Amino acid sequence: MGQMINSARTIEPQSRFPMNQQRAFSLYHTHIKLLGFDLNSLTQSSSSSSSDAVSFSRRGFAVSCAEIVGVVVSRDLKPNRFLRFSVDDGTGCVSCILWLNHLTSPYFASRHQPDVRIIGNMATHFAAQIRVGIVARVRGKVSSYRGVVQITVSDVVVENDPNAEILHWLDCMSEGSF
């Protein structure tokens, strides 16, 4: 570990973590571009944190948020509850869940209600855009349901660019060292 001398001339550690762990922590809340195969092969482990019951990693790096681009191949809407859909990018099919129960969920009860309404309206807007056959860019928190990795959706963009999927693949390949 490196050391740094501050203005009081005392020596203190520059960091408590090795460089590769610093990198892992710095990416933890970043949407990592992944292919379906990579998402489905994330390593799950029990977390010591009470806020995250399960944590995920890839090649020893913690992953909390992901981005995938692919064709929507299934759609199951439960009005005012959730939209479950699957995205296939050619390497694997990834399950996605978009919650639509913001106004009735106890999870949001303590939050500022106008903010909850805005989040709920955005989720309803995203749900209306998702149709089987479209190419979508999905971002969200990596989670698990019944032992299967899924994305809890935070935002969805319908891609009109026919090259969006292959450009995402190229981005994933260039970030292959992650």
The 3-class SS string of the chain reads CCEEECCCCCEEECCCCCHHHHHHHHCCCCEEECCHHHHHCCEEEECCCCCCCEEEEECCEEECEEEEEEEEEEEEEECCCEEEEEEECCCCEEEEEEECCCCCCHHHCCCCHHHHHHHHHHHHHHHHHCCCCCEEEEEEEEEEECCEEEEEEEEEEECCCCCHHHHHHHHHHHCCCC
Q: Which residue has the higher pLDDT, 24 or 154?
A: 154
pLDDT, position 1: 40
Q: For residue 31, what pLDDT band results from cuts at 50, 70 and 90? A: confident
Could you tell me the CATH number of the domain that includes residue 85? Answer: 2.40.50.140
Span 77-90, average pLDDT: 94
pLDDT digits (tens, 9 = 90+) for 94-137: 999 999 988 787 777 778 888 888 888 899 999 999 999 999 99
Domain count, the chain: 1
pLDDT attached to residue 111: 81
Mean pLDDT score of the chain: 81
Task: Tell me the residue range of the domain where 31 lies.
Answer: 18-172
